C-alpha cells in the first residue's frame, strides 16, 4: 500500500551522490539521432500544434500551470496513453490508440516538449517514493536553452529508478517506507533474471529505487501538483523544486 497523505508530507530527499547507479544495458539509452520506428503522422497527427514544435531558440521562462503532453497525461479511470513497465527501458514502452495497434515511441514524439508552455526543468513526485526526482535536458550543451522533452522525462525516470539505494538511506527511509516490502520486491526482481550468473550479479547490486514501487510498477501517467500542494509538502527534509511538479501515478499489472 502507498504511504498515507501525512507520510507524503514528510518526504525524504537523498543526494544522488550517495547512490551507485547500475549499468544500464546498451539498449536502454534514447539517442537523439534514433530514427522514427513508426510513421510519425500516424501517432501525432491528432495532437494539437502546440505539441509539434521544436525546442525554442531563446531561454525559457518557467511556466505556470503547465499542461502535460497527452501521451504522458494521467486520466482518472483510464491511466495514460503510454503503456510502460517501469522496470524496463522506455524503448519497450508502447503508445495505445483506439484505432491502431499499440506502437513504439517515435523519434518525433520523444523530441516533443513534455509540457506546454515548455519548461527547462521539472520535478516528479510519487506516493511510493521518498524522493523528489529532478528532470532537465542533457547537460552536455547539445541543446542550448532546450525544453524538457518527452524523451528526457522517460529516460530520466528510468535512469533514476535504476539507482542503487545505500543501506544508510534505506534505514533513514524506514519511517515512511515498508523496508521489508522493498527488500522482498528486490529479491523477486532478481529471481526473475533467467541467467544464473546475471541473477547473482543483480542480487549483489542490492536494492534499487524501482523496488520501492513494489508491485505497482506500471506507468499510469502524470498529473500536475498544484502550487498549494507543493508548498504544503515541503519540509526541512524535502527538496525545494524550481519548475512545475508532477505526480507520478502507477498501478499493479
Instruction: Taking residues 137-164, report their average pLDDT.
Output: 89
The percentage of the chain sitting over the pLDDT mark of 70, rounded to a whole number, equals 68
pLDDT at position 65 is 61
Nearest-10 Cα torsion for 251, 203, 4, 69: -40
Q: At what angle do helices 179-191 and 196-205 cross, to 10 degrees?
A: 160
pLDDT at position 4 is 45
Instruction: Taking residues 63-75, report their average pLDDT.
Output: 85
Instruction: Taking residues 129-156, report their average pLDDT.
Output: 88
CA–CA separation, 35 vs 31, rounded Å?
9
Q: Which residues contact 110 (CB under 8 A, 6 or more apart)?
A: 30, 34, 149, 150, 151, 154
173-212 pLDDT, tens digit each: 988 899 999 999 999 999 999 999 999 999 999 999 999 9
User: Which residue has better confidence, 237 or 227?
Assistant: 227
Q: Say whether pTM exceeds 0.95.
A: no
Instruction: Taking residues 28-52, report their average pLDDT.
Output: 34
C-alpha dist (Å) from residue 208 to 126, 184, 244? 15, 12, 26
- Assigned C-alpha cell, 153: 522525462
| Own/partner long-range contacts of 41-49 (Cβ < 8 Å, ≥24 apart) | 42/100, 42/103, 43/95, 43/97, 43/103, 43/106, 43/108, 43/109, 44/106, 44/108, 44/109, 44/112
CA–CA separation, 153 vs 151, rounded Å?
5
Neighbours of 162 (CB within 10 A): 20
Enclosing H/E stretch for 82 = strand 82-83
If pLDDT is split at 50, 70 and 90, which confidence band does 246 have? very high
Least confidently predicted of 1-15, 69-83, 126-140, 238-252? 1-15
pLDDT at position 150 is 97
* DSSP state letters, 111-160: TSBSEES--S-EEEE-TT-SSPEEE---TTSSSTTPPPBHHHHHHHHHHH
Q: 209 φ, ψ to 5°?
A: -60, -35
If pLDDT is split at 50, 70 and 90, which confidence band does 138 have? confident
If pLDDT is split at 50, 70 and 90, which confidence band does 230 have? low
End-to-end alpha-carbon separation of the chain, Å? 15
pLDDT at position 1 is 53
Which residues share a beta bridge with 164?
Answer: 208
CA–CA separation, 108 vs 103, rounded Å?
13
The percentage of the chain sitting over the pLDDT mark of 90, rounded to a whole number, equals 59
Amino acid at each position: 500500500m502507498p504511504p498515507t497523505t501525512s507520510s507524503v508530507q514528510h518526504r525524504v530527499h537523498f543526494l544522488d551522490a550517495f547512490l551507485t547507479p547500475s549499468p544500464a544495458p546498451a539498449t536502454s539509452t534514447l539517442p537523439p539521432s534514433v530514427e522514427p520506428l513508426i510513421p510519425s503522422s500516424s501517432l501525432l497527427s491528432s495532437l494539437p500544434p502546440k505539441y509539434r514544435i521544436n525546442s525554442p531558440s531563446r531561454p525559457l521562462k518557467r511556466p505556470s500551470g503547465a499542461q502535460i503532453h497527452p501521451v504522458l497525461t494521467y486520466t482518472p479511470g483510464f491511466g495514460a496513453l503510454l503503456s510502460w513497465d517501469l522496470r524496463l527501458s522506455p524503448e519497450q514502452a508502447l503508445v495505445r490508440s483506439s484505432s491502431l495497434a499499440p506502437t513504439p515511441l517515435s523519434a518525433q514524439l520523444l523530441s516533443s516538449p513534455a509540457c506546454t508552455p515548455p519548461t527547462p526543468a521539472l520535478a516528479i513526485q510519487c506516493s511510493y517514493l521518498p524522493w523528489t526526482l529532478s528532470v532537465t535536458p542533457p547537460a552536455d550543451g547539445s541543446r542550448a536553452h532546450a525544453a524538457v522533452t518527452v524523451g528526457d522525462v522517460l529516460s530520466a525516470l528510468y535512469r533514476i529508478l535504476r539507482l542503487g539505494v545505500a543501506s544508510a538511506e534505506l534505514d533513514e527511509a524506514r519511517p515512511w517506507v515498508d523496508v521489508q516490502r522493498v527488500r522482498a520486491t528486490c529479491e523477486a526482481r532478481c529471481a526473475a533474471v533467467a541467467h544464473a550468473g546475471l541473477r547473482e550479479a543483480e542480487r549483489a547490486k542490492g536494492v534499487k529505487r524501482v523496488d520501492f514501487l513494489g508491485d505497482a510498477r506500471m506507468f499510469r501517467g502524470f498529473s500536475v501538483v498544484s502550487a498549494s500542494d507543493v508548498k504544503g509538502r515541503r519540509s526541512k527534509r524535502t527538496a525545494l523544486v524550481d519548475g512545475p511538479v508532477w505526480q507520478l501515478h502507477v498501478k499493479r499489472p
